[in-house]
Amino acid sequence: MPAAYLGCEDMTKKEILKQTLLHKKTPEVPYALKRRFGNEITFFGGMNTQYTMPFGTVAEVASEMRKLVRELGREGGFILTPGIIVQEDVPRENVLTFIRVCREQAF
């Protein structure tokens, strides 16, 4: 697990619980954390707001969101959000896709 992601590759469950949101700097880190901790922690965010939301296609936004729900949402413990404020450079179509895919998910 890359140390740059949450600040320390040897974080304990307690330390991770102190985190308020996931900043995706490495695409596979949230999935590695889910494998490591399962449903012992809740993930908030995870949507890539540095690349996918502002620069991705509508299909890429939908695909990433569905993967997040499928992988991080397994056995509960996932709150689907962009993770941080959606900036003004995000295309309207990507924001609408985010909303549409959220509504399609069976929570």
Of the two residues 85 and 58, the one the predictor is more confident about is 58
Residue 107: C-alpha distances to residues 56, 60, 72, 74 (Å): 25, 21, 12, 11
Q: Whole-prediction pTM value? A: 0.71
**Whether residue 60 has pLDDT greater than 90:** yes
State the average pLDDT over residues 81-90: 84
pLDDT in tens, 39-59: 788 888 878 888 899 999 999
Residues 6+ apart with CB under 8 A from 3: 9
**Whether residue 99 has pLDDT greater than 80:** yes
Q: What is the pLDDT of residue 73?
A: 86
The 10 Å Cβ neighbour count of residue 23 is 17
Q: What is the pLDDT of residue 106?
A: 66
**Whether residue 1 has pLDDT greater than 50:** no
Would you state the structure tokens that stand for residue 82, as one six-digit string? 């962009």
Compute the half-sphere exposure of residue 104: CA atoms within 13 Å on the CB side of its CA.
12
Q: What is the pLDDT of residue 22?
A: 47
